[in-house]
Structure 1
Amino acid sequence: MATTIGKTFTFAAAHYLSNLPPGHKCARLHGHTYTVTVELTADDLIEPGFVTDFGDLAPFYEYLKVHLDHRLLNDVLDQEPTCELIARHLADWFQRHVEAQIPGRLHALAVAESPTSWARWEVRR
C-alpha cells in the first residue's frame, strides 16, 4: 500500500500559442498565475512518518522562481507553452534534478492556468 502527498507552488508568467489561428484568443500574448501541484508517493514512510519532507522540494520551487516566474514562457521553453507541455517539461525536470535526492517518487504533476483549466501528467510504472 502506498501513501501519496502533494505540494502546490505558483508562478506568474506570460505566453502565446503560435500554432493557433490568428483570431484565436490564446494566439495573443496573455498571462496566467500558474499553479503547479506535485504528487509524491512511497510504499514506506521515513521518520517521523513522511513520504518526503516538503522542505526537500525547495530545488523545484527555486527552478520555478528563477526560470519561469515573471517570464515569457515562449522565450524559456523549447516547446509550445501549453499546460500539457509545461506539465511534461516540469515532470521531466523534477525527475532529473529532484527525485533521486528524495525518498518519495513522482506520481503526478498538474499545471493549472486558471481555477478551471489544467493538465495532469502521470507516471506510468
Structure 2
Amino acid sequence: MSYRIGKTLSFEAAHHLPGLPEGHKCGRSHGHSYQVTVVLAADDLVPPGFVVDFGDLSPLRSYIDDQLDHRNLNDVLDIPPTSERLARHFYDWCVEHLPLHDGVTIGSVRVSETAATFAEYTPPVGGGDR
C-alpha cells in the first residue's frame, strides 16, 4: 500500500492475567493507561486527498469510551486481556464496525500498556478481511 495513516486513542482500564505463576505481579488486579493505534492503508486517496477522514474512526472512540474505559477488562471481554489479544480484538472490531471504503485495509493495530511496551497485530498477507 502506498499511503498509511494512524490514529491513537487512549483509555484507562484494569485487568489481571490468569494462569501466571504464584506471585507474578500481572496476576494481581492492576491498571494501565492504554494507547490503541490503528493504522489504515490504501493505494489511492479519496477527495480531498485522504486514506479516510479521521472522523470515520469515531465509532472506535465511542466503543472504547462506552465499553472499556474505566472498566475491568476481565469483566467486559471474553478473552484474557493481554496486550497481544487486545490488539487482535481491536483489529477484529475495526474490520466489523468501521465504515471503510473499498481499497482501504487495516494495516495493523498496536496496544501499549506503558510508554515502553506494546503489542501489535498485523493480519497475514492476503488474509485480512479489509
Q: Same fold (TM over 0.5)?
A: yes
Separation of aligned partners in 1, 2:22 and 2:74: 17
Count residues in correspondence. Answer: 123
Separation of aligned partners in 2, 1:19 and 1:86: 17
Q: Which 5+ residue runs of structure 1 have no aligned equivalent? A: none
Residue 22 of structure 1: how far off its partner (Å): 2.2
Residue 79 of structure 1: how far off its partner (Å): 1.0
Deviations 1:57-96 (A, max 9, x none): 0001100111110000000111110000011111101101
1:121 aligns with: 121
Identity, in percent, stands at 50
Separation of aligned partners in 2, 1:74 and 1:31: 12
Structure-1-length-normalised TM-score: 0.95
Residue 5 of structure 1: how far off its partner (Å): 0.4
SS of residue paired to 2:85: helix
Separation of aligned partners in 1, 2:83 and 2:93: 15
Q: RMSD in angstroms over aligned alpha carbons?
A: 0.9
Structure-2-length-normalised TM-score: 0.92
SS of residue paired to 2:64: helix
The one-letter code sitting in structure 2 at the alignment partner of 1:43 is D
Deviations 1:45-68 (A, max 9, x none): 001110000001000110011111
Matches within 5 A, 1:1-125: 2-98=2-98, 101-103=99-101, 104-124=104-124, 125=126
SS of residue paired to 1:38: strand
Residue 10 of structure 1: how far off its partner (Å): 0.3
